[in-house]
Amino acid sequence: MIIGPVVVIIDDTFDHKLYSRIEGITSRYGNYFAWCSMHKRFEPGIQVLTIALYDLAMGKSYLIGAYPYATRKMWESGMVSEFKTKIEMAAEIIEILKRRFPVCRIVFDSWSEKLVRGSVVSELKSNRRLLRVRPLEGTLGVEGHPHVGDLPPGSYLAELTLGDQVITIRLLILVY
């Protein structure tokens, strides 16, 4: 039983379909070929959005589901007739989870203006340009309009554009 509050954890991944590799086929219902960095070749598989909850009160994780989705490339090529981006799917699922559980934070490795609200933890690409940066600790001076990848590890308040407005976010730079 989930007591909460909870952290929603969302991840998108490419799931290999071993039977498709053996048979050399793909399905028009979700399988397609994508580059596999592990096998160094194009592999058949399916894109999946996984959703998990972490109950902060109980210290337990729960897998909510793994939802296959079509990529934009599949939609543009006519392989599928309906299409939602992983961001749109995540936003819909988050709203449903917020009605059922006390969601205090969301962790997702994709960044989108549709999801930047409240307590969302997300990843910015290293080439994302920042308007202004102020360190939260120390006296590090940052000049100009740096990219995320130009910053040394640390915590910052950063301004960036979100649509036609400027927002301030807390930015944590880690080396891993």
Q: Which tens digit of pLDDT belongs to each residue from 24-51?
A: 444 444 556 667 777 787 777 777 888 9
DSSP state of 129: B
The amino acid at 168: T
Structure tokens at 93: 């699922």
Indicate if 129 and 113 belong to the same structural domain: no
**Cα separation of 104 and 97, whole Å?**
11
CB 54 within 8 A of CB 6: yes
Residue in this structure with the two tokens 């934009």, named with its chain if needed:
72
Q: Which residue has the tokens 């972490």?
A: 54
Domain boundary residue among 101, 123, 145?
A: 123
Range of the domain at 138: 124-176
Q: Domain end: 82, 107, 123, which one?
A: 123
Flag whether pLDDT at 14 surpasses 70: yes
List pLDDT tens digits, range 77-129: 777 777 788 888 888 898 999 999 998 888 887 666 566 555 556 667 777 77
Q: Do 89 and 15 share a structural domain? A: yes
Q: Are residues 88 and 38 in the same domain?
A: yes
Cβ atoms 46, 30 nearer than 8 A? yes
For the chain, the first-to-last Cα distance in angstroms comes to: 34
Rounded Cα distance between 3 and 51, Å, is 18
